[in-house]
A = this chain, B = another copy of it.
Amino acid sequence: MNPSSKTAPVVSSGNPLRERLRAETARSIVGAAEKVFAAQGVNAARMDDIASEAGVSVGTVYNHFEDRESLLNGLLATRRAELVANLDAALEAGGGEPFPFMLERFTSTLLEHFESHRPFFSIVIEGEHRRGFPATGRGNDAMLEVYQRVEHLMTRGLRKKALRSQGAELWPALFMGAVRGAMVHSLYDKSPARPLAERAPDLVRFFLDGAGA
């Protein structure tokens, strides 16, 4: 499940308790990595800080992840998998609904996940614009599957005539851009009372009808 984990026995070892403890440690490290990578930036984050944050020693981090790169990839893969699972569930659940409802459900799920994993969001954004980074599946690829869901959704909207076809190749990018705009806005918003996910209807209305009077 975690493609970067190291020394993980292919089949569960005889001891399920040890198994569980190991997984727990790994989870803790991933959580710490998310925090630290986001707080200090992907490049500035130090392995020692991640270890401290996780409450273990550096050595232990290396017992769970081959190297720094693997840890970052593992983190992104984990969060991405969670998000994609949620999105797929949302798409599934709203399968028969009219497009606007489906879109709102989807948007809401997206915002919820980003809100509860803001650091993940930061990391993804940081890498998003970097072209052809040396030999890693980082950056955009981290969002590739999400993008595919968005594209799928937009195709559906087009088929249902809920979306204009002129300029349609931009819909996914503009939708994601708007979502991102809302996210960034909330980072600086003075009123953090309202959960971000409640913005979903506003966002959808904007996406479908625009800001014009």
Contacts and interface: CB of A to CB of B under 8 A. Distances in A.
Interface of A: 41-44, 121-122, 125-126, 128-131, 133, 140, 157, 161-164, 167, 170-182, 184-185, 187-188, 199, 202-203, 205-213
Contact of A178 (B44, B178, B212): B178
A26 to B, nearest CB: 20
A207 B210 contact: yes
Contact of A177 (B163, B171, B181): B181
When A and B form their complex, which 6 residue pairs have the shortest distance between CB atoms, in order from nearest? A177-B181, A43-B43, A173-B185, A208-B212, A210-B210, A173-B181
Contacts of A202: 167, 170
* Binding site secondary structure of chain A: helix
Contacts of A122: 129-130
